[in-house]
């Protein structure tokens, strides 16, 4: 009995130390509800993983099941066999996606930061008007700039090149806005002290500003990655050469024009998982920096 009393006393001390003693019944019910909601929101993730491992006998079973009973890698084998007899293998589409996405992430992040820095820390004529114009572009739907983009790409002569996947997306108003809001909070005294020590603008920018705003850099990189990795617009509008198209475009054409809707569904499921995984992994890795950016940029 004494041993049991000591355990109860230790548990009460632990509850007081951790604040659990202050959790009332309403908070307990709220935590339980939020836990159930989190489990419910995880179901699509569980489904996409299980769906890629299902054989055809389970893909179209009724009623549908979330969990796979007999996992197989046949869907992934089918995905690579789909283009086995064609001139463009699936690995070429993946390579194009990796190259264009990586280049866009680096270029958009750098261009957005270099645009936001003078808007935040330098005074020049028309600065407010320029920033207002950048904010104004946030009002335009992506469809409204489709034709101007096509005309610009055509006149630059970058159709069927990697530049056609990259240049149309370098101007990212949301990224510039996020960067500026974060750079605004960098103390001016710190920058002035660096300039008094002989540092130029590029030194101040790369050695002081960028390390301080790394959460914003990570957020812009994630947003850019998500936008470009799943983008099919550049492949549809600017690429007539099949070898220059990307993996998301290949995924969108897997089951198109087939009279039998059952065909290639396994390959489409495995391709969807491959397309989803990089987004999932990168977001998990950088999620703390994203939350820090939203907390300090004025966006609630």
- CATH number for the domain spanning 180: value is 1.10.3720.10
- Distance from C-alpha of 271 to C-alpha of 283, rounded to nearest angstrom: 19
Residue 233 near residue 143 (C-beta atoms within 8 A): no
Place of tokens 């475009």: 249
Tell me what pLDDT residue 299 has.
Answer: 40
**135 and 58 inside one domain:** no
Tell me what pLDDT residue 300 has.
Answer: 37
**35 and 116 inside one domain:** no
**Each residue's pLDDT tens digit, 161-214:** 999 999 988 888 889 998 998 898 888 888 888 888 888 888 888 988 988 888
- Distance from C-alpha of 169 to C-alpha of 282, rounded to nearest angstrom: 20
Tell me what pLDDT residue 117 has.
Answer: 92
The residues, ordered by sequence, that sit 6+ positions from 20 with a Cβ below 8 Å of its Cβ are 14
Tell me the three state secondary structure of residue 253.
coil
Tokens, residue 68 = 């796979």
Tokens, residue 108 = 């958009």
As for how many domains the chain has, the answer is 2
44 in a domain, yes or no? Answer: yes
Phi, psi of 157 (to 5 degrees): 70, 35
Share of the chain above pLDDT 70, in %: 83
The boundaries of the domain holding residue 178 are 86-296
291 vs 91, higher pLDDT: 91
- Distance from C-alpha of 70 to C-alpha of 154, rounded to nearest angstrom: 50
The helix/strand count (H/E) of the chain reads as 16, 0
Tokens, residue 198 = 């002989």
Share of the chain above pLDDT 90, in %: 16
**DSSP E strand stretches across 60-189:** none
**51 and 197 inside one domain:** no
**134 and 58 inside one domain:** no
3-state SS of 82-96 is HCCCCCCCHHHHHHH
Q: What is the pTM of this model?
A: 0.77
């Amino acid at each position: 009995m004494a041993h049991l009393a000591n355990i109860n006393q230790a548990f009460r001390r632990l509850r007081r130390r951790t604040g659990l003693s202050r959790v009332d019944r309403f908070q307990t019910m709220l935590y339980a509800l939020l836990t159930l909601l989190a489990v419910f929101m995880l179901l699509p993730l569980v489904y996409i993983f299980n769906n890629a491992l299902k054989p055809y006998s389970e893909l179209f079973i009724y009623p549908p099941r979330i969990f796979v009973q007999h996992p197989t890698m046949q869907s992934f084998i089918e995905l690579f066999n789909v283009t086995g007899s064609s001139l463009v293998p699936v690995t070429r589409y993946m390579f194009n996606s990796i190259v264009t996405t990586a280049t866009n992430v680096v270029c958009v992040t750098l261009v957005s930061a270099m645009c936001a820095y003078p808007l935040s820390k330098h005074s020049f004529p028309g600065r407010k008007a320029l920033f207002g114009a950048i904010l104004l572009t946030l009002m335009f739907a992506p469809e409204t700039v489709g034709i101007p983009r096509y005309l610009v790409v055509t006149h630059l002569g970058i159709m069927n090149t990697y530049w056609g996947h990259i240049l149309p997306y370098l101007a990212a108003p949301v990224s510039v806005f996020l960067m500026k809001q974060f750079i605004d909070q960098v103390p001016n005294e710190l920058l002035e002290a660096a300039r008094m020590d002989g540092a130029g603008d590029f030194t101040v920018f790369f050695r002081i500003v960028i390390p301080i705003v790394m959460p914003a850099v990570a957020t812009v990189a994630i947003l850019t990655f998500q936008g470009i990795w799943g983008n099919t617009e550049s492949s549809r509008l600017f690429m007539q050469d099949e070898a220059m198209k990307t993996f998301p475009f290949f995924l969108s054409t897997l089951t198109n024009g087939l009279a039998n809707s059952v065909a290639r569904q396994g390959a489409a499921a495995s391709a969807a998982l491959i397309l989803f995984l990089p987004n999932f992994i990168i977001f998990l890795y950088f999620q703390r920096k994203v939350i820090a950016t939203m907390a300090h940029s004025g966006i609630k």
